[in-house]
């Protein structure tokens, strides 16, 4: 692969910024990643990738000190760069709108450091018209419109597979206003657009469903911004739809797993995000649905469908907690084993995690919780503190518990030794918020099984498990 060797500055060492920086370095560009958090920069320079993400540690080790640098000097990074990516946080404020104060601060500092033409790439998830506001802010802070171009280039990364999503994308969306900006963006992504990256012997392995070449769509900045929010809102809606159907399935004594197969086999619908569970979470969907709802209102559009998406997502959590209460008769003082703390498998992110929300609800009802997660224990400890017990492994978590709750879809939780589960639990009760097992498997193991969108499996003559003790961390 011929190295493009463009000079890139990435403002923000969060999830999007860090993955983008490592991947652009992997594509041959020289990248300086900037953040004002001294501890974060020190950790990155010491080799700590900060987040749990497949292939990210390898890319940082491969390029750190060569094509990938970490710094607190934003002005210096901007001066060296041809392209400046804004990848700062845009959290939701109290009204649900995106808080763009970090974007504004980054823009102001970029404007003050400009020493020649810069291509400013809006990578953060932002409301429509943010691109225009960035351009306006640049001018207000002393820049001429000939000094810069502003481009919208939203990310479509899934936590847990972010690196492969970046290097083998299904689409790259670029919102541009000038031919010069369009040419620079094509050069930035050239190794992905012409397929040369994937041909390299040390390339990150492609996923099974990788496209030979991604769709490359050039459009207006406003359209590009809208694509991002509309995409996330639609996926959240798809999850909420199947969760609403799961409630009907339980009442009708139907099987939501078969419903999902039947619906997903229709190519117009597809199987992705059509899986019932305890709801969506993470850093994107909750925030982006709220922000998109606020955008629609500001445009004078009545988009109440998004209100229903949010309501169903919360109701799904409430229904699961109610199921726990109904199954255990009384839950005050009961000790429950919770497997899963991250909002999904493959990540240590607990932001808006349904698992954490379920645990907090149960704690408010005087339950005792012993939990285990392969990656998210430390992050959960920062939120839950000593309110729960942290187990060293899945089996230690369930030892002597009154019931087992499956809250995150980690692969290792889908392949437990069910005979061991039966022996360790005080009562043979499993409540599966992710439908990781079939009722047939649980019946064979002698476990009472309660899942999402399926009839409960209640054994006529259940026998209790053998109570044992284990030392917890």
Question: Widest CA span of the chain, in angstroms?
Answer: 79
The span from the CA of 152 to the CA of 198, in Å, is 25
DSSP 8-state assignment for residue 411: G
Closest by CA to 349, choosing from 162, 90, 124, is 162
Task: Output the six-digit token pair for 170.
Answer: 């299904």
Burial of 170 from C-beta contacts in 10 A (0-12 / 13-18 / 19+):
exposed
Contact 18, 68 (CB under 8 A): no
- DSSP-assigned letter for residue 68: E
Q: Provide the pLDDT for residue 124.
A: 87
pLDDT at res. 373: 98
H-run or E-run covering 246: helix 221-251
Phi, psi (degrees; rounded to nearest 5) at 404: -110, 130
What pLDDT shows up at residue 463? 59
Model pLDDT, residue 465: 57
Backbone angles phi, psi at 315, to 5 degrees: -65, -35
d(CA 238, CA 229) in angstroms, rounded, equals: 14
**Residue 11: φ, ψ to 5°:** -95, 110
C-alpha distance across the termini of the chain, in Å: 48
Does residue 105 come out as left (phi exceeding 0), alpha (psi in the -120 to 50 range) or beta? alpha
Res 467: pLDDT: 45
Domains along the sequence of the chain with CATH: 7-219 (3.40.50.720), 221-473 (3.40.50.720)
Burial of 300 (0-12, 13-18, 19+ CB in 10 A): exposed
Among the listed residues 23, 284, 299, 367, the single catalytic one is 284
Residue 234's pLDDT is 95
pLDDT at position 277 is 96
What pLDDT score does 3 carry?
53
pLDDT of 365 reads: 95
Instruction: Supply the pLDDT for residue 470.
Output: 39
Spans of the chain below 70 pLDDT: 1-4, 461-473
Contact call for residues 312 and 243 (beta carbons, < 8 A): yes
Q: How far is Cα 19 from Cα 198, in angstroms, rounded to an integer?
A: 18
**Apex 278 CA angle, 272 and 283, nearest 5:** 70
367 catalytically annotated: no
- List the structure tokens of 397: 């978590």
Q: How far is residue 172's CA from residue 156's CA, in Å, rounded to a whole number? A: 9
pTM of the model as a whole:
0.88
Q: CA–CA distance from 162 to each of 15, 55, 119 (Å)? A: 9, 9, 24
Cite the DSSP H helix spans in 299-412: 305-328, 354-363, 377-384, 394-398
> What is the b/e burial string over 237-252, where b = at least 16 CB atoms within 10 angstroms of the residue's CB?
bbbbbbbbbbbebbee
């Amino acid at each position: 692969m011929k190295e493009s060797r463009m000079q890139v500055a990435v403002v923000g060492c969060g999830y999007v910024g860090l993955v983008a920086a490592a991947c652009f370095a992997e594509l041959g560009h020289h990248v300086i990643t900037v953040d004002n958090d001294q501890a974060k920069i020190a950790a990155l320079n010491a080799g700590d990738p900060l987040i749990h993400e497949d292939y990210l540690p390898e890319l940082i080790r491969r390029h750190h000190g060569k094509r990938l640098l970490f710094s607190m000097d934003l002005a210096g990074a901007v001066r060296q760069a041809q392209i400046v990516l804004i990848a700062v946080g845009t959290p939701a404020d109290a009204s649900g709108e995106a808080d763009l104060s970090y974007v504004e601060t980054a823009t102001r500092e970029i404007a003050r450091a400009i020493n020649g033409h810069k291509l400013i790439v809006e990578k953060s998830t932002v409301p429509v018209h943010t691109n225009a506001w960035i351009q306006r802010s640049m001018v207000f802070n002393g820049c001429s419109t000939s000094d810069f171009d502003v481009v919208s280039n939203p990310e479509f990364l899934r936590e847990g597979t972010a690196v492969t999503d970046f290097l083998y994308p299904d689409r790259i969306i670029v919102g541009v206003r000038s031919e010069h900006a369009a040419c620079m963006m094509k050069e930035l992504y050239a190794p992905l657009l012409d397929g040369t990256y994937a041909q390299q012997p040390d390339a990150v392995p492609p996923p099974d469903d990788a496209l030979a070449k991604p769709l490359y769509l050039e459009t207006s900045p406003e359209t590009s911004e809208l694509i991002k929010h509309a995409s996330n809102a639609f996926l959240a809606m798809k999850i909420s739809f199947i969760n609403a159907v799961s409630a009907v399935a339980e009442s009708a004594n139907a099987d939501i797993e078969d419903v999902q197969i039947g619906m997903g086999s229709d190519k117009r619908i597809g199987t992705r995000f059509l899986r019932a569970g305890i709801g969506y979470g993470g850093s994107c969907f909750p925030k982006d649905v709220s922000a998109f709802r606020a955008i629609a209102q500001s445009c004078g559009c009545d988009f109440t469908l998004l209100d229903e998406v949010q309501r169903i997502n919360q109701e799904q959590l409430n229904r699961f907690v109610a199921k726990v209460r109904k199954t255990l008769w009384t839950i005050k003082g009961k000790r429950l084993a919770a497997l899963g703390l991250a909002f999904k498998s493959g990540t240590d992110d607990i932001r808006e995690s349904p698992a954490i929300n379920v645990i907090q609800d149960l704690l408010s009802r005087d339950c005792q919780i012993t939990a285990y997660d392969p990656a998210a224990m430390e992050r959960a400890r920062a939120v839950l503190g000593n309110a729960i017990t942290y187990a060293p492994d899945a089996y230690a978590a369930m030892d002597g518990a009154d019931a087992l709750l499956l809250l995150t879809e980690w692969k290792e939780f889908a392949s437990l030794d069910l005979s061991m589960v039966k022996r360790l639990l005080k009562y043979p009760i499993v409540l599966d918020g992710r439908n990781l097992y079939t009722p047939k498997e649980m019946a064979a193991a002698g476990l009472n099984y309660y899942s999402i969108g399926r009839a409960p499996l209640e054994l006529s003559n259940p026998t209790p498990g053998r109570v044992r003790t284990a030392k917890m961390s």
